[in-house]
Structure 1
Amino acid sequence: MTLDAVLARIDADLPAATERLFDLLRIPSISTDPAYKAECDRAADWLVADLASFGIAAEKRPTPGHPMVVGHVDGDGPHVLFYGHYDVQPVDPLNLWDRDPFDPELQDGPRGKVIRARGASDDKGQLMTFVEAARAIAAETGRMPCRITFFFEGEEESGSPSLVPFLEQNARELSADIALICDTGLFDSRTPGIVTMLRGLVGEEVTITGASKDLHSGMYGGPAMNPIRVLTRILGGLHDDEGRVTVPGFYDGVPEIDPEIAAQWRGLGFDHEAFLGEVGLRDPAGETGRSALEQIWSRPTGEINGISGGYAGDGFKTVLPSRASAKVSFRLVGQQDPHAIRDSFRDWVRAQVPADCKVDFRAHGASRASVMQTDHPAFEQARKALTAEWPGEAALIGSGGSIPVAGHFKSILGMDSMLIGFGRDDDQIHSPNEKYDLDSFHRGIRSWARILHAIA
């Protein structure tokens, strides 16, 4: 295809593309609330019709929950699957919005115009960047540069209960050479990134029980074991003096990052003091000798997320509690086995519980990290294409969080994903007054056109 002509068409068509996005944003497709089931159906129907308007054979596919949208178009070269989600978060508390969250508007922002509406950034605006790129290519050239499968989900914001069964039932149809996922953000306002590693997660709840009931500390303090004392002693030993997790076998399967990727990260010029300073902190508290970016993207962690026991209300109560509980999570990288880590953590805790106490555990999910095989040529092709569009040089980066769909694509469909998004840190996703910079929308469309041109 003639890339310059496609990019020129994208520029000229931006007002119409923005209005199409506004039409989608007006649909309150809140997946977690049954009251909006019909609206989720309407959003799926809108996407089917929009894809069909420029020649994509698309269908709304039923699930036990909200429907999937699947579309196909033939082309030469590799086969890519593009994923996005059309459902959005609830808008509560409504009184904190400056306007109707489903009445989108262009407003002035610190970097130029912004699109203000629920779903503007997460994920309708991001999803439509790819759709608009495909529309411009079809209009300018009459064909796609490669074979494309469009795959839009309607339950991402409510836990994706239908996703895995749907992928398993339709694996042959949905499998491609590589997946493209637009549900992430820029590294900073000038620099795009391709997320190539996502951390996994283990969630665990620990409860220590001592006496059969709460006790008066004046009568029992001393001879009776205090579960809070037991629990805090155990949790206090979760890290050593260098910030490493002390659970046996925890670092099995943790790799060192590739030197070339490490060099790209150093070139990003990440300022950890500014990053921590925004939340009133200063010094990185993770593993000694690891940069803040390494700690967030490529190193595993163990965190205490909550602790309870005894009396914590107003005033004072000299109670010796019967029970104490804590919630602990582990972020995983590389080939760490979440189930082995859960078992090891439980054994480690049990070994430290005195005879007069008992311990119970409650699991809260377990998922492996996702690590993409970046030697696939599409990664470097996409990185160079992004660099051509944005002021800063694109990098292969990590993410401290988890995006389960990438792992499902790998385990069920056998393909890696390139996670490329154009959101910004101040987009206020999941919060009142969500927005998406018009520049992100515009450059995002141009970026996908460049990427499709490059990988084809």
Structure 2
Amino acid sequence: MSKETIFGFIEKNVPLIIALETELTKRPAIAPESGGEGEWEKCRFLEQWLKDRGITALERLDAPDKQAKGGVRPNLIATIPGKNDAKRLWIMSHLDVVPPGEASLWKSDPWQVVQQEGPRGTVLIGRGVEDNQQGLCSSVLAALSLISQGITPPHPVKLLFVADEEMGSAYGIDWILKNHPGLFRGDDMILIPDGGDPRGETIEIAEKNLLWVRFTTTGSQAHGSRPDQGINAHLAGADLAVRLHEGLSKQFSERDPLFEPDYSTFQPTKKEANVPNINTIPGEDVFYMDMRILPRYPIKAVLTEIDRIKGEVEAKYGVKIAYTPLQSVESRPTSPEAPLVKLLSGAVREVYGVETRPIGIGGGTVGAYLRNAGIDSVVWGRMDDTAHQPNEYTVLENILGDAKVMAFLMMEER
């Protein structure tokens, strides 16, 4: 079958993909930690939808979670058999979405897809339509362009729809790698269509190391007029936050142009409430830091420096400081010369006429887990990056174009 035949199928199935986006959006897949029921209903719908359209080689890998509907967080694999079982191509998207946020900021119901026409053609608006249903729908449409026309790709294609990406992947790819270690092979190639830019010119091959930390400072409560009778945990905690920000930034100060920003970041973020009234010296104070660290610096070295700074603050104020890492992920990069990077670059050039370039990001993606397992993975997509925003949208032409890129990859001899 020619490229034109495959691309023609994709272009003719606009109503199908709008309907799929609409049905997926109707089924909010929000983590229990964020007040939702998980991915159960969305996964069951998608599983049946694929079966009805001829994608029948389906496998579920369900992570137990008592908080979620059905008692599990489902991970679904759809396989399109190939002529040669070597060098499989995976396309991995995630089923979960974030909550819609402040309702007044939405111009429409976030769980009902709204179709609008604009300067760039049709856009679809709704929670999840871009993050990550754009990539999900593109991968499904690409697979259907082969299955529906009786085309067998040179190598197997596996679509992986994972749970729990938005909350850290404990029930998603991290759970899969720990509980099904033989699922992936060292020469597998994995495309993650969960990030990109409006032109599709950036291929994310690396991430900064990720460290989220909760700091608890314990002093002694007192009346606001008698600080001499207490130990101000808030004052010590504030000093700790500033010292960590400045000290870690100075200690780990090298730059890498692959990333934007090109340096490690150490940011105090969330702050918990301490005392409810103004005239009380707080005896306990809690804050959090989000640290995105260039891969050249191991997290262990950062923790050592945190211990040193913590000791200085404890000695100065007479407080006790405890900290708990909430997320700690070190990421091995994919080589810019990896076969997947080159194949994807060629596919993007063929479909979009765009020259790509490799980049690193500060944000965390599921790609880090795979790279650390020794499997080449890249994050790519042509998107406006409206994820997590009110009135999230996807450009319909991006769904179709990305599906063509994926179909091109599926048909490549490797």
TM-score bracket, normalised by the shorter chain, equals 0.7 to 0.9
Q: Which residue matches 1:279?
A: none
The answer as to 2:306 corresponding to 1:345 is yes
SS in 2 for 1:15: helix
| Residues 88-127 of structure 1: pairs in structure 2 closer than 5 A | 88-127=97-136
Cα displacement string for residues 91-141 of structure 1 (whole angstroms, at most 9, x for unaligned residues): 354454333333323112353211122221111222110111121133345
Distance in 2 of aligned mates of 1:300 and 1:138: 45
Cα displacement string for residues 390-429 of structure 1 (whole angstroms, at most 9, x for unaligned residues): 35422212222111x22222334x312111123313x2x3
Cα distance 1:203–1:385, how it changes in 2: closer, same or farther (>3 A)? same
Q: Which residue matches 1:245?
A: 249
Cα distance 1:105–1:225, how it changes in 2: closer, same or farther (>3 A)? closer
Distance in 2 of aligned mates of 1:2 and 1:360: 65
Cα displacement string for residues 289-321 of structure 1 (whole angstroms, at most 9, x for unaligned residues): xxxxx442x4211122256798897xx75x665
Aligned with residue 87 of structure 1, among 88, 96, 107: 96
Cα distance 1:326–1:4, how it changes in 2: closer, same or farther (>3 A)? same
SS in 1 for 2:73: coil
Q: Give the residue type in structure 2 aligned to 1:300.
A: S
Distance in 2 of aligned mates of 1:378 and 1:94: 41
SS in 1 for 2:205: strand
Q: Is the 8 A contact 1:385 1:454 kept in 2?
A: no
Aligned with residue 305 of structure 1, among 258, 269, 284: 269
Aligned with residue 443 of structure 1, among 387, 395, 401: 401
How much is the aligned-residue C-alpha RMSD, in angstroms? 3.3
Q: Which residue matches 1:432?
A: 390
**Number of residue pairs aligned between Structure 1 and Structure 2:** 401
Aligned with residue 204 of structure 1, among 213, 227, 231: 213
Distance in 2 of aligned mates of 1:232 and 1:31: 32
Q: Which residue matches 2:291?
A: 330
Cα displacement string for residues 213-249 of structure 1 (whole angstroms, at most 9, x for unaligned residues): 32455x656x987655555555444466xx97134xx
Q: Give the residue type in structure 2 aligned to 1:214.
A: A
Percent of aligned positions with the same letter in both sequences? 20
SS in 2 for 1:70: strand
SS in 1 for 2:29: coil
Task: State the TM-score, normalized to the length of structure 1.
Answer: 0.76
Cα distance 1:172–1:97, how it changes in 2: closer, same or farther (>3 A)? same
Q: Give the residue type in structure 1 aligned to 2:304.
A: D
SS in 1 for 2:182: helix
SS in 1 for 2:304: helix
What is the Cα deviation at residue 439 of structure 1?
1.7
What is the Cα deviation at residue 143 of structure 1?
0.9
Q: Which residue matches 1:8?
A: 8
Cα distance 1:256–1:433, how it changes in 2: closer, same or farther (>3 A)? closer
Q: For structure 1, which segment, 227-236 or 394-403, has the greater mean C-alpha deviation from structure 2 after superposition?
A: 227-236
Distance in 1 of aligned mates of 2:372 and 2:49: 31
Q: Which residue matches 1:136?
A: 145
SS in 1 for 2:115: strand
- Structure number with greater CO (CA < 8 Å, separation at least 6) is 1
Distance in 1 of aligned mates of 2:3 and 2:215: 57
Q: Is the 8 A contact 1:381 1:455 kept in 2?
A: no
What is the Cα deviation at residue 333 of structure 1?
2.1
Q: Which residue matches 2:348?
A: 386
Aligned with residue 73 of structure 1, among 75, 80, 84: 80
Q: Which residue matches 2:379?
A: 419
What is the Cα deviation at residue 386 of structure 1?
1.1
Q: Is the 8 A contact 2:30 2:99 kept in 1?
A: yes
Q: Which residue matches 1:213?
A: 221
Distance in 2 of aligned mates of 1:50 and 1:220: 65
Distance in 1 of aligned mates of 2:119 and 2:276: 43
Q: Which residue matches 1:43?
A: 42
